[in-house]
């Protein structure tokens, strides 16, 4: 018997359709993250790039104009062009979380709607792992200024129409 997910711990889910082939959208999401990630969502004040090591065990790192680096995630799964999964190593205080047991997961799927259109579905799961204050993080990433803003940026950066 499975225990149903309590609504307050249900994942945050956001989706967007992009006017581009699925392989292109996957590449922009993973290899050109700084082109679509909202500038207000960085931990470093002066982030100019985001480096994604596109392999299980790799990292997602912010890089500022002085070359300082801040790892914000660990890559768990890369299945090009269908799936990309990473941890969210950010605490409810919007600082780097160093305890892997207190990190949530972001699951992203890329589905070809047809040859020229793709659907991106992002689920931010296990937010309760962050401990005290996790509800505020859930509300932030699930709100109008959260993942929805980033996926709108992806739609603009990757879209060809």
Convert the pLDDT of each residue in 84-122 to its tens digit. 999 999 999 999 999 999 999 999 999 999 999 999 999
CATH, residue 140: 3.30.530.20
**119 vs 14: CA distance, rounded Å:** 11
DSSP H/E element including 124: strand 117-125
Q: pLDDT tier at 40 (50, 70, 90 boundaries)?
A: confident
Beta carbons of 73 and 88 less than 8 angstroms apart:
yes
State the total domains in the chain: 1
Residue 110, in any domain of the structure: yes
Cross-strand bridge partners of residue 52: 60
Looking at residue 1, what is its pLDDT? 42
Q: pLDDT tier at 9 (50, 70, 90 boundaries)?
A: confident
Residue 140, in any domain of the structure: yes
Least trusted range by pLDDT, from 20-24, 37-41, 77-81: 37-41
Looking at residue 2, what is its pLDDT? 44
- For residue 81, whether the previous peptide bond is cis, meaning omega lies within 30 degrees of 0, is yes
Residue 57, in any domain of the structure: no
Average pLDDT score, the chain: 92
60, 130, 150, 108 alpha-carbon torsion, rounded to 10°: 70
Whether the predicted pLDDT of 45 surpasses 90: no
For 68-87, what is the mean pLDDT?
A: 97
Looking at residue 159, what is its pLDDT? 85
Looking at residue 10, what is its pLDDT? 81
Residue 33, in any domain of the structure: yes
Parent domain of 20: 11-41+81-158
């Amino acid at each position: 018997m499975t225990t149903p997910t309590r609504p307050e711990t249900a994942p945050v889910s956001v989706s967007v359709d992009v006017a581009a082939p699925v392989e292109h959208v996957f590449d922009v999401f993973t290899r050109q993250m700084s082109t679509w990630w909202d500038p207000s969502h960085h931990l470093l004040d002066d982030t100019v790039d985001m480096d994604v090591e596109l392999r299980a065990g790799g990292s997602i790192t912010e890089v500022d104009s002085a070359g300082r680096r801040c790892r914000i995630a660990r890559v768990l799964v890369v299945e090009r062009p269908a799936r990309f999964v990473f941890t969210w190593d950010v605490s409810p205080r919007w600082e780097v979380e160093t305890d892997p047991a207190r990190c949530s997961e972001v699951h992203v799927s890329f589905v070809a709607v047809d040859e020229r259109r793709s659907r991106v579905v992002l689920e931010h799961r296990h937010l309760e792992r962050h401990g005290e204050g996790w509800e505020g993080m859930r509300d932030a990433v699930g709100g109008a200024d959260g993942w929805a803003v980033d996926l709108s940026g992806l739609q603009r950066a990757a879209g060809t129409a």
